[in-house]
């Protein structure tokens, strides 16, 4: 079987981790991959911790469960590092991408001895500057594609632009802001 890439997202309700995982699944599917993208949450409210998952493969996947040993972990809210074991099961051959204005080395001590790749991206700053609001999920989406290489970057950019044009057909400024945020995050992610 070809290599399957498993990604676990950690965020808080309302930050867009679920949406980002579904957008990643959609973009990967549109490049010919087999995908799964799904959230895990209960009756939590906005601000409560949530998880979302992606499986991306060149071959059909018959596994239908949460992801316990991910290749990559995406942390949309840095405060979760002190309340959750976000590195639980994370493969050292993969990596973790954290929404933070800090350098990766500054966060390593919060990762419970994780020895793999640590990357950071200031998704809040990028989204504020490109979208006018703190929507960290889109910059985090660009960062995970850059770090994981799960989809060729040019394919990802074209598929996301097509997706945004469908979703926001009457809002050209939203399309432009999201595309700028995606491209910028792929350039500014640290540690990869």
**All structural domains of the chain with their residue ranges:** 5-188
What global pTM score does this model have? 0.93
Q: Give the span between the Cα atoms of 101 and 98, in whole angstroms.
A: 9
* Spatial separation of the C-alpha atoms in residues 75 and 14, rounded to whole Å: 14
CATH code that applies to domain 5-188: 3.40.920.10
pLDDT at 44 over 70: no
Q: With bands split at pLDDT 50, 70 and 90, how would you rate the model's confidence at 140? A: very high
> In this predicted structure, which of 31-45, 80-94, 104-118 has the lowest mean pLDDT?
31-45
Task: State both tokens at 99.
Answer: 């929404």
For 155-186, write each residue's pLDDT tens digit.
999 999 998 888 777 777 788 899 999 999 99
Rounded Cα distance between 58 and 172, Å, is: 33
pLDDT of residue 48: 86
pLDDT at residue 2, rounded to an integer: 59
**Selection from 135, 132, 125, 122 nearest residue 173 by Cα:** 132
Among the residue ranges 17-21, 23-27, 165-169, 182-186, the one predicted with the least confidence is: 165-169
**CA 128, CA 11: separation in Å to the nearest integer?**
18
Tell me the C-alpha to C-alpha distance, in Å, between residue 69 and each of 6, 95, 157, 174: 8, 12, 28, 35
19 has a pLDDT exceeding 50: yes
pLDDT grade, residue 9 (50/70/90)? Answer: very high
The overall longest dimension of the chain from CA atoms, in Å, is 48
């Amino acid at each position: 079987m070809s290599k399957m890439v498993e990604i676990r997202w950690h965020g808080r309700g309302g930050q867009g981790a679920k949406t980002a995982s579904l957008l990643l699944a959609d973009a990967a599917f549109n490049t010919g991959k087999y995908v799964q993208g799904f959230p895990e949450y209960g009756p939590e409210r906005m601000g409560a911790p949530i998880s979302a998952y992606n499986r991306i493969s060149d071959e059909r996947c018959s596994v239908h469960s949460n992801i316990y040993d991910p290749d990559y972990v995406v942390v949309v809210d840095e405060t979760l590092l002190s309340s959750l074991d976000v590195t639980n099961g994370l493969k050292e051959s993969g990596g973790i991408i954290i929404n933070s204005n800090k350098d990766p080395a500054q966060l390593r001590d919060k990762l419970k001895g994780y020895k793999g790749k640590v990357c950071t991206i200031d998704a809040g700053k990028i989204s504020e500057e490109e979208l006018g609001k703190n929507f960290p999920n889109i910059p985090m989406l660009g960062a995970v594609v850059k770090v994981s290489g799960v989809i060729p970057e040019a394919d990802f950019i074209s598929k996301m632009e097509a997706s945004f044009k469908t979703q926001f057909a009457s809002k050209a400024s939203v399309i432009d802001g999201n595309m700028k945020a995606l491209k910028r995050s792929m350039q500014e992610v640290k540690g990869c």
